[in-house]
Chains A and B, each alone.
Chain A
Amino acid sequence: MGTYILKRLAISIPVLFFISVGAFVLVHLTPGDPADMYITPDMTQAQIELTRASLGLDRPLFIQYFDWISNFLTGNLGFSFGNRQPVLDIIGQRLSPTLLLMSLSLLVAYLTAIPLGIIAALRKDTLTDRFIIGWTFLNVSFPPFFLGLALIYIFAVKLDILPTGGMSVLGAENGAEDLIMHLILPVIVMASQFSANMIRYVRASVIDVMHQNYIRTALAKGLNRRQILWHHVLRNSLIPIVTVIGTDLPKIIGGAVITEQIFQWPGIGSLTVAAINSRDYPILMAIVILSAVAVLIANFVIDILYALIDPRIKYGK
């Protein structure tokens, strides 16, 4: 296990390197020059050259990359083109609203999806099952922005019981009740995206386990169905939950762009859209790398979880 973890970490380093090169090249190959932000029309050519030199833009690209990445690794992520604040501070402010929204959405999604998946499996091929399966299709097919707008239209505009967006009512900051009211609609949108896969996976897994020989044995030796369900079926069929978490967790940073944008949620997603619109490259590079690193870490954690949960999985051979 220990060697496996080390091996995984070693593999992650070149992947991280290419991710950072990708982000750097992406932003530097685009039309426009970061120096444009500092250049005014009345500057002479010599002054422009001087500005470029002071920003380090006259040096070869790989040296610029090396400079940027060594700064990045020491926590100096540069400054926003927009308000000249350190990128690290801006991202830091936006991180916790996103994490709050996403973790709550995952929680709501799983708490509803797991029972629904089990019910669908136990009532296989009945109307209930068909309804739940249909529901998952509806969830994965509903455009998140359309769902968000429809919910705002119904609950904020027509019924006027929930706010249209933001994180708090001006003047009523820090109220827990206020925060919850603002969370309801975005959490519904995100949770509906997350729940479908979990429902299908749990359903398939429960059905699969119920066909196993040890379940037949338990039935044959006369255990009652409730006991079999709780002790044999569920315990074994919930292992694949990790698989679904493995596909959901990587989205925790970069997965809520649209939902945050619609509900004006002050997180990483709406920051991305704002940075794109204002061509704020330092922020964009930081977000791209941050979200990619989050994916790597999530995948890493999931692999370890697998090994811990299912002792049959052996790594590092």
Chain B
Amino acid sequence: MDPKKFVLIHHDGTLSSSGLSAVTGIAADKEVDSADSWGKITWRRFCQNKAAVYSLVIFLIIICIAILAPVISPFDPAQSVGAFDEAPSAGHLLGTDDVGRDVLSRLIYGSQVSLIVGVGSVVIYAVVGITLGLLSGYFGGAIDSLIMRITEVFMSYPQFMIILVIVSLIGPNMMTVMLVMGFMGWPPICRLVRGEVLRVKSLDYVAAAVVTGYSPLSIVFKHILPNVLSPILVNCTFGIAQAILIEASLSFLGMGVQPPASSWGNMLTSAQSIMILSEEPWRWIPPGVAILVAVLTINFLGDGLNEAINGDSK
């Protein structure tokens, strides 16, 4: 429930030399013997993790559902298309809600919100975090201490609470949820990148690039960034799961995606009433399970990726 969690996972997942040396080819890792590319090796190791492979399949299915939503959705998710509070039947497989909207159609369209917000906010914070982390690590000095102080301020706010307050103050909708999560979530990535840059900076091939007279910008982007991409990739995968959870939580509290637009989180809002909770389980169990499955598969995916990139942690 905290961005720091990912860093923890890195530590016990041995974010050590083996993975990175396989990328850079600095140390003669055993994989270098085979002619296979790094991508192929990683993919083969990823495939050994069954949970991760099944998760990848389920995740791809969720993506397909989100893309094909207009085609496979039986009804318009925002329109009243049946009786109110109707139990599941052949006409409405998951029943209808209190204004007669089809629950299945809302569930299908909700996947779009989760994926857009999840991926969108992670892309934003990855770009911000990578940029600041590279600047901080590469240039050091005053720039570094300034960026680190800002990072500290951002990390001092309890993440969910501050996102909740900001989103509700500037107006809750899908866009603000995505942007606020994006601009609040960068500190862990920034620290990760900075740490890696400090480590890689002292390596011979970077020193060689400096001596050869490459510009700082090209050293950063051509020689340093590729080396920090794999831990970032793992962090971002977990970040998507986290972002989906936060979006659902905000929407659940009424501070995210607003009805009639559907989100898995706001479909559960009404279940805070004991009446709906006890009498109409078809309205809150399916979206709850959907969030659980999406987040669980992405977390397994991140774990598989982590193992494949960094070597088996067991």
A contacts, CB < 8 Å to B: 11, 14-15, 18-19, 22, 26-27, 30, 124-125, 134, 137-138, 140-146, 149-150, 152-153, 157-158, 164, 193, 197, 200-201, 203-205, 207, 243-244, 247, 250-251, 253-255, 257-258, 261-262, 272-273, 276-277, 284, 287-288, 291-292, 294-296, 299
Least distance between A281 CB and chain B CB atoms (Å)? 9
B272 touches A262 (CB 8 A): yes
Known contacts A276-B255, A288-B165: A142-B153 contact under CB 8 Å: no
A257 touches B296 (CB 8 A): no
- The residue that A255 contacts in the complex, of B157, B158, B299, with Cβ under 8 A, is B158
Q: Which B residues lie within 8 Å of A261 (CB)?
A: 253, 272
List 10 additional A-B contacts (Cβ < 8 Å) besides A26-B166, A137-B296. Answer: A22-B157, A141-B296, A152-B277, A200-B12, A201-B12, A254-B158, A255-B1, A257-B161, A276-B165, A291-B158
B241 contacts chain A at the CB level, 8 A cutoff? yes
- The residue that A258 contacts in the complex, of B13, B155, B253, B295, with Cβ under 8 A, is B253
B161 touches A288 (CB 8 A): yes
Known contacts A276-B168, A276-B255: A143-B249 contact under CB 8 Å: yes
Q: Tell me if A's interface is mostly helix, strand, loop or mixed.
A: helix
Least distance between A150 CB and chain B CB atoms (Å)? 7
B253-297 residues with Cβ-Cβ distance < 8 A to A are: 253-255, 265, 268, 271-272, 274, 277-278, 281, 284-285, 288-289, 291-292, 295-296
Q: Which B residues lie within 8 Å of A15 (CB)?
A: 149, 152-153, 156
Least distance between B74 CB and chain A CB atoms (Å)? 24
Q: Which A residues lie within 8 Å of B272 (CB)?
A: 149, 261-262
A291 touches B161 (CB 8 A): yes
CA distance A137 to B55 in the complex (A): 12
B277 touches A257 (CB 8 A): no
Of chain B, the residue at the smallest CB distance from A158 is B278
- The residue that A201 contacts in the complex, of B8, B249, B285, with Cβ under 8 A, is B8
A137 touches B156 (CB 8 A): no
Q: Which A residues lie within 8 Å of B9 (CB)?
A: 200
CA distance A152 to B278 in the complex (A): 9
Q: Which B residues lie within 8 Å of A277 (CB)?
A: 254
CA distance A244 to B274 in the complex (A): 36
A140 touches B1 (CB 8 A): yes
Inter-chain residue pair count (beta carbon < 8 A): 152
B146-171 residues with Cβ-Cβ distance < 8 A to A are: 149-150, 152-153, 155-158, 160-162, 164-166, 168-170
CA distance A253 to B272 in the complex (A): 23
Least distance between A95 CB and chain B CB atoms (Å)? 15
B314 touches A125 (CB 8 A): yes
Least distance between B284 CB and chain A CB atoms (Å)? 6
Of chain A, the residue at the smallest CB distance from B288 is A146
Q: Which A residues lie within 8 Å of B165 (CB)?
A: 26, 272, 276, 284, 288
Q: Which A residues lie within 8 Å of B104 (CB)?
A: none
- The residue that A149 contacts in the complex, of B241, B253, B284, with Cβ under 8 A, is B284
Cβ contacts B217-241/A at 8 Å (1 or 0 each): 0000000000000000000000001
A292 touches B158 (CB 8 A): yes
B2 touches A251 (CB 8 A): yes
Least distance between A24 CB and chain B CB atoms (Å)? 13
B278 touches A30 (CB 8 A): no
B contacts, CB < 8 Å to A: 1-2, 4-5, 8-9, 11-13, 51, 149-150, 152-153, 155-158, 160-162, 164-166, 168-170, 241, 245, 248-249, 252-255, 265, 268, 271-272, 274, 277-278, 281, 284-285, 288-289, 291-292, 295-296, 299-300, 303, 313-314
Q: Which B residues lie within 8 Å of A143 (CB)?
A: 245, 248-249, 252, 265, 288, 291-292, 295
A254 touches B161 (CB 8 A): yes
Of chain A, the residue at the smallest CB distance from B166 is A26
CA distance A22 to B160 in the complex (A): 16
Q: Which B residues lie within 8 Å of A294 (CB)?
A: 158
Least distance between B192 CB and chain A CB atoms (Å)? 15
Q: Which B residues lie within 8 Å of A197 (CB)?
A: 5, 8
A141 touches B156 (CB 8 A): no
B299 touches A141 (CB 8 A): yes
Least distance between A301 CB and chain B CB atoms (Å)? 14
Q: Which B residues lie within 8 Å of A299 (CB)?
A: 156
- The residue that B268 contacts in the complex, of A149, A203, A254, with Cβ under 8 A, is A149
B271 touches A292 (CB 8 A): no
CA distance A30 to B166 in the complex (A): 9
Most chain-A CB neighbours within 10 Å: which of B8, B164, B249? B8
Of chain A, the residue at the smallest CB distance from B269 is A145
Least distance between A263 CB and chain B CB atoms (Å)? 10
In the assembled complex, 9 residue pairs joining A and B whose CB atoms fall closer than 8 Å, in A order, are: A15-B153, A149-B268, A149-B288, A164-B274, A200-B12, A247-B5, A257-B161, A291-B158, A292-B158
Known contacts A26-B166, A141-B296, A145-B252: A153-B277 contact under CB 8 Å: yes
Q: Which A residues lie within 8 Å of B156 (CB)?
A: 15, 19, 292, 295-296, 299
CA distance A149 to B291 in the complex (A): 14
Of chain A, the residue at the smallest CB distance from B169 is A30
CA distance A251 to B3 in the complex (A): 12
Known contacts A149-B268, A288-B165: A205-B277 contact under CB 8 Å: no
A193 touches B249 (CB 8 A): no
A254 touches B5 (CB 8 A): no
